[in-house]
Amino acid sequence: MTTPPRFDIFLTTAPGLEATLLAEVRGKGFRQPKAVPGGVVIEGGWPEVWRANLWIRGAGRVLARLDHFHVTHLAQLDLRARHVPWADVLRPDIPFRVEATCAASKLYHSGAVEQRIATAIRETLGAPEAPAGGIPDAVTVMARIEHDRCTISLDTSGAPLHKRGYKEAVNPAPLRETMASLFLQQCGYDGREPLVDPMCGAGTFVIEAAEIAARLNPGRLRHFAFEQFANFDAEAWARMRGVESRRPPAALCHGSDRDAGAVAMSRDNAVRAGVAEHTAFRQCTISDAVPPEGPPGLVMVNPPYGTRMGDKGDLVPLYRALGQVLRQRFSGWRVGLVTSEGSLAQATGLPFVAPGAPVPHGGLRVTLYRTAALG
């Protein structure tokens, strides 16, 4: 009986969020995870790849490391690329594309690297290369050459993992679900307390929180690239994703927004996500926001910032009003606020603890500002 292959599996995240993703991966039972720049590495086989895609909220993609080798010239790359066991994972009837990056190496032309690896796959496997315009279902082979060491990986996710499979409607400048889940984790949210987002937009924080509270797998509603691999076991995958994990949430997750369209969008997204009964949305301005009945919990908010949706100076009154409402009405609640502008966060007058490093988001760098329970 052959031993199932084991290899490195890389879960990507935004720089600055590696430690938070590491905590999630460890908490989900993956053995010996290790934080590295840009993500978390675990060791495992294909069941761990499937599980990571299905279970992990904070990862942007899951990459399977196929091979790594030293390389300093294209002829050497030609030879080594033909020895990668492509037939073990790629199907000859599924199109593929190659994406390469090069840094601090003798091979510095990523286009030439992509061409050589693609030729090796075509000639050893017979699989068609996706045209330059791209094919949505093409499998992506990734090559990274750094300090003359080439790492060959497969993108096992396909569409980025923040695409949970339910959100047809989004508002301008949405926060990705993967980042929202990691910010919730940094605020200590574990699904056992109420959550309020008074500027909910498309409902990202509310729906992520409701899924956590109901213990729903983030990948339950979508497909993944690994379903097109040569070694995919459809029956084993069906058993894995069929395991029932849902539980009744301890508290509702609440969202409000001054815009009626945003509230309708959030409700529709919650229905598609299967958490409508665990959420409550209403239209109201910040000045009308009130906490729900019951014990305190977490206020999580991603307000507009000047470089994102309007002029920064015009937003100071909004942040002041937000801070005033939270200080006066949300005693005992913790607050998590995401913004790219420290001056806007300070305009709330809330007693934030020292923030962590900013993280990249949509061409900006945003910071999570947190409070302890408000007095």
Specify the pLDDT at position 1. Answer: 54
Mean pLDDT computed over 250-277: 96
pTM: 0.96
Distance of CA 294 to the CA centre of its chain: 31
Over residues 202-235, the pLDDT tens digits come to 999 999 999 999 999 999 999 999 999 999 999 9
pLDDT in tens, 119-160: 999 999 999 999 977 778 899 999 999 999 999 999 999 999
DSSP character string of 170-185: --SSPPPHHHHHHHHH
Strand order in the sheet with 359-361: 279-283, 253-257, 195-197, 298-301, 334-339, 364-370, 359-361
47 contacts 240 by C-beta, under 8 angstroms: yes
Beta carbons of 191 and 168 less than 8 angstroms apart: no
pLDDT of residue 132: 79
Q: What pLDDT does 306 receive?
A: 65
- pLDDT bracket for residue 171 (50, 70, 90): low
> Could you tell me which residues are beta bridge partners of residue 144?
101, 151
Model confidence at 335: pLDDT above 80:
yes
Q: Could you tell me if 221 and 54 are in contact, meaning their C-beta atoms sit under 8 angstroms apart?
A: no
The answer to whether the beta carbons of residues 5 and 44 sit under 8 Å apart is no
pLDDT given at position 155: 98
Q: Once rounded to an integer, what is the mean pLDDT over residues 283-301?
A: 97
Q: Which tokens belong to 275?
A: 């958490």
Residue 375 and residue 360: Cα distance in Å, rounded?
Answer: 32
Interval 79-135: pLDDT, tens: 999 999 999 999 999 999 999 999 999 999 999 999 999 999 999 999 999 997 777
Res. 367: pLDDT tops 60: yes
Query: What band does 362 get if pLDDT is binned at 50, 70 and 90?
Result: confident
